[in-house]
């Protein structure tokens, strides 16, 4: 039978051993310390040998076990363990046996702003010139080399994070590191944990190796950036040749590794964060999980060894690929997994990646349901919206729309600044009512605050926050929300009259979420009426007259139309960099109708156009362009309106200019 030995000491060695055991293949694993033995999976297929060996001892070990040409030595030692790798390679050559080097995958972290060094000696020389405290996270093996390159004064301000084993402690003390500067902890370390250590010890310089995902490289770099700490990186040796874990398994067995059972992945809502809002099913899954993923604040308190501060598919999938021993994973989402979380999209991406995986979703208690309970109200008749990372004008406009027509509106917030913005929005829109803010709901420090919009504008309170807006004077939503001419400030600017405006907008065929251009905005009457139809619409009104632009902005402010954007300029150049429209209304072209329609057609998108023509010249030009461009679904309507005016004791019809309305699809 073929003999196999893995010289381990890394995650990669442990993973390969597990893969061989899963396949029923006997092998030996050599680890340097009892701590390395603790991390290994113990089973009948894996024999664990503990103790450091030099080249001669490795050669004797292989010879005593009868290793020959048909057998295999696998080097899964640390990427920086150059001496160990040289010894293993030489011992394998002496024994005349096969040799495979497993290399750790490179980290894809953002490396901008990092200080790079070829070795520890170069890094030590640079740090000798720096002020401030230093944290070494490079382990104990190169500590002597570091201490030899710095002064006693620098050693006094150097802190070392090592594994909690006797050998590492002795290495620190013998190198001259003060006992008070030794941090003995076992990882993995999240960004939040790294950040806490940097802040606790007042660190200004973090030293790490380019250790890849298994070594927590990205978590160190991101924590350093957040803390404003300079990160010093020892480059990974570039001369090594090797293979990844799966290729090593393929070379050993001649086949691809086949999982023995389906991977189990649970996407779980973790409630608001405190134990009382975590459902029993989620708790049980965490107890059984090999690894857990999620935001720092959710996973930090969990007593699980393999914790990863991430929740996006592009981050999670590479970890699962690199760690086939993770057979059961839990991905946590704050609140309810089905309520403003990324669980749905993540589910689809995970299924696409591993069609055989058993993927389930478990709900959680949302901050909205908890706040409703605390305030003693229901939320089945409420408007619900999230501002958490979503404060675009469209979302803010949708929020105002909800508050106008709902007695209760629940709002998920990012923090105290969102409460202040809520107050400003409601105050500017002349909407009264009360804002109930739930702070750190379910935690011991939980509290509620009730504010007027004016009070909310000056609000300050740290914590996780959710709001309930109670608007007792909420109006009934109009079925056809038309805008009257009297609702607009006109001055001396031309305005599309109400009856023409309504007929024109009807022919745009608007749909939810459409992007609309209003070219030749005038008073903004068309743009503002379109914007009022649905808060999901994005309306851009293009106007070349500066006075008219100011008037449109004034009307938009008075109507709190946050989904209207005024662009000062002449079409088509003015909308060249604006997102492509779904619908376009042209009330005034400035003699550039051909250029406007050509630019719209060049957008390579089907666009519904409506043109109002008052003069005979515009009517004729539009007719010719329709013949030339051959758009689809052409409709032409002539509208004449008269209003009844009281003159003296009599009532007379006063005619308005007849308007020709052209509508068609272009693109």
pLDDT, position 640 = 86
Q: Which of 300-309, 491-500, 515-524 has the lowest mean pLDDT?
A: 491-500
Checking if the pLDDT of 240 tops 70, the result is no
Write the CATH number of the domain with boundaries 368-470. Answer: 3.30.950.10
Contact 505, 585 (CB under 8 A): yes
Query: Is 259-365 in the same CATH topology as 115-234?
Result: no
CATH 3.40.50.10090 applies to domain 115-234: yes
Please return the burial class of 346, using the count of CB atoms within 10 Å of its CB with bins 0-12, 13-18 and 19+: buried
What pairs with residue 646 in β-bridges? Answer: 651
Checking if the pLDDT of 596 tops 90, the result is yes
Mean local confidence (pLDDT), 229-240 = 82
CATH 3.40.1010.10 applies to domain 259-365: yes
Cα distances from 363 to residues 271, 280, 290, 500, 514, in angstroms, run: 8, 11, 21, 50, 32
Query: Of the ranges 38-47, 69-78, 387-396, 484-493, which is most confident?
Result: 69-78
4-101 sits in which CATH class? alpha beta
Going by C-alpha positions, the residue among 329, 326, 327 that lies closest to residue 294 is 329
User: What percentage of the chain has pLDDT greater than the value 90?
Assistant: 54
pLDDT, position 304 = 85
Mean local confidence (pLDDT), 71-99 = 90
Domain ranges of the chain: 4-101, 115-234, 259-365, 368-470, 485-666
Per residue, the 3-state secondary structure of 598-652, as one string, reads HHHHCCCCCEEEEEEECCHHHHHHHHHHHHHHCCEEEEEEEECCEEEEEECCEEE
Cβ-based neighbours of 321, under 8 Å, separated by 6 or more: none
pLDDT, position 105 = 63
Helices (H), 516-562: 525-533, 546-558
Q: Is 588 helix (H, G, I), strand (E, B) or coil?
A: coil
Checking if the pLDDT of 107 tops 60, the result is no
Mean local confidence (pLDDT), 497-520 = 92
Mean pLDDT of the chain: 89
**What is the distance between the alpha carbons of residues 175 and 651, in angstroms, rounded to a whole number?**
105
Checking if the pLDDT of 114 tops 80, the result is yes
Contact 504, 526 (CB under 8 A): yes
**What is the distance between the alpha carbons of residues 498 and 485, in angstroms, rounded to a whole number?**
6
pLDDT, position 397 = 87
pLDDT, position 449 = 95
pLDDT digits (tens, 9 = 90+) for 341-372: 889 999 999 998 888 889 999 999 999 999 99
- The vertex-459 CA angle with 456 and 461, nearest 5°, equals 135
Going by C-alpha positions, the residue among 530, 485, 426, 504 that lies closest to residue 663 is 504
Cα distances from 297 to residues 289, 440, 444, in angstroms, run: 18, 13, 16
Mean local confidence (pLDDT), 553-560 = 89
Mean local confidence (pLDDT), 100-117 = 75
CB atoms inside a 10 Å sphere around CB 607: 20
Checking if the pLDDT of 611 tops 60, the result is yes
Contact 348, 303 (CB under 8 A): no
pLDDT digits (tens, 9 = 90+) for 411-431: 999 999 999 999 999 999 889
Checking if the pLDDT of 634 tops 90, the result is yes
Q: What's domain 485-666's superfamily in CATH?
A: Vaccinia Virus protein VP39 (3.40.50.150)
**What is the distance between the alpha carbons of residues 535 and 429, in angstroms, rounded to a whole number?**
15
């Amino acid at each position: 039978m073929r003999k196999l030995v893995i010289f381990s000491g890394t995650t990669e060695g442990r993973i390969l051993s597990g893969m061989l055991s899963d396949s029923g293949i006997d092998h030996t694993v050599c680890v340097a310390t009892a701590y390395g033995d603790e991390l290994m999976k113990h089973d009948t297929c894996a024999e664990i040998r503990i103790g450091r060996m030099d080249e001669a001892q490795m050669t004797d070990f292989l010879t005593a076990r009868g290793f020959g040409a048909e057998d295999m030595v696998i080097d899964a030692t640390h990427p920086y363990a150059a001496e160990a790798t040289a010894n293993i390679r030489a011992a394998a050559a002496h024994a005349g046996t096969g040799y495979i080097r497993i290399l750790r995958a490179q980290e894809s972290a953002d490396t901008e702003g990092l200080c790079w060094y070829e070795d520890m000696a170069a890094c030590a020389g640079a740090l000798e010139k720096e002020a401030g405290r230093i944290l070494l996270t490079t382990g104990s093996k190169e500590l002597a080399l570091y201490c030899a390159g710095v002064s006693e004064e620098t050693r006094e301000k150097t802190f070392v994070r090592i594994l909690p084993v006797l050998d590492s402690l002795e290495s620190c003390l013998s190198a001259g590191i003060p006992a008070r500067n030794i941090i003995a902890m076992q990882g993995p370390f999240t960004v939040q944990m790294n950040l806490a250590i940097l802040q606790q010890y007042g660190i200004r310089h973090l030293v790490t190796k380019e250790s890849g995902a298994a070594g927590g490289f990205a978590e160190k770099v991101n924590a350093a950036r957040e803390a404003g700490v300079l990160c010093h990186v020892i480059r990974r040796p570039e001369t090594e040749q090797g293979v990844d874990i799966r290729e090593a398994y393929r070379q050993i067995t001649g086949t691809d590794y086949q999982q023995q059972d389906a991977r189990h992945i649970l996407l779980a809502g973790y409630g608001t964060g405190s134990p009382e809002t975590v459902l029993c099913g989620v708790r049980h899954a965490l107890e059984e999980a090999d690894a857990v993923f999620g935001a720092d604040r959710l996973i930090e308190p969990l007593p699980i060894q393999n914790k990863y501060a991430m929740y996006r598919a592009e981050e999670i999938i590479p970890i699962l690929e690199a760690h086939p021993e993770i057979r059961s994973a839990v991905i946590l989402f704050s609140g309810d997994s089905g309520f403003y979380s990324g669980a749905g999209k993540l589910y689809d991406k995970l299924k696409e990646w591993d069609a055989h995986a058993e993927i389930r979703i478990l709900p959680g208690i949302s901050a909205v349901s908890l706040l409703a309970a605390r305030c003693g109200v229901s939320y089945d008749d409420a408007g619900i919206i999230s501002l958490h990372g979503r404060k675009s004008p469209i979302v803010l406009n949708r929020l105002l729309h909800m508050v106008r027509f709902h007695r209760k509106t629940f709002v998920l917030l990012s923090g105290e600044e969102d409460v202040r913005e809520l107050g400003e929005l409601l105050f500017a829109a002349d909407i009264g009512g009360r804002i109930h803010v739930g702070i750190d709901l379910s935690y011991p420090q939980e509290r509620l605050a009730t504010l007027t919009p004016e009070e909310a504008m000056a609000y300050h309170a740290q914590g996780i926050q959710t709001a309930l807006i109670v608007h007792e004077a909420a109006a009934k939503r109009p079925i056809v929300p038309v805008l009257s001419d009297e609702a607009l400030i006109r001055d001396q600017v031309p305005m599309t009259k109400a009856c023409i405006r309504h007929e024109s907008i009807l022919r745009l065929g608007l749909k939810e979420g459409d992007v609309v251009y209003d070219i030749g905005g005038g008073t903004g009457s068309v743009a503002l009426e379109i914007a009022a139809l649905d808060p999901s619409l994005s309306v851009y009104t293009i106007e070349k007259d500066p006075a008219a632009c100011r008037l449109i902005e004034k009307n938009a402010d008075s109507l709190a139309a946050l989904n209207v954007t005024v662009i000062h300029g002449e079409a088509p150049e003015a909308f060249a960099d604006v997102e492509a429209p779904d619908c376009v209304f042209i009330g005034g072209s400035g003699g550039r109708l051909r250029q406007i329609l050509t630019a719209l057609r060049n957008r390579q998108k089907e666009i519904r156009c409506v043109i109002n023509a008052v003069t005979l010249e515009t009517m004729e030009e539009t007719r010719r362009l329709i013949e030339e461009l051959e758009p689809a679904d052409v409709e032409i309507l002539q509208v004449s309106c008269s209003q009844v005016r009281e003159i003296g004791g009599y009532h007379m019809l006063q005619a308005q200019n007849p308007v020709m309305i052209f509508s068609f699809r272009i693109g």
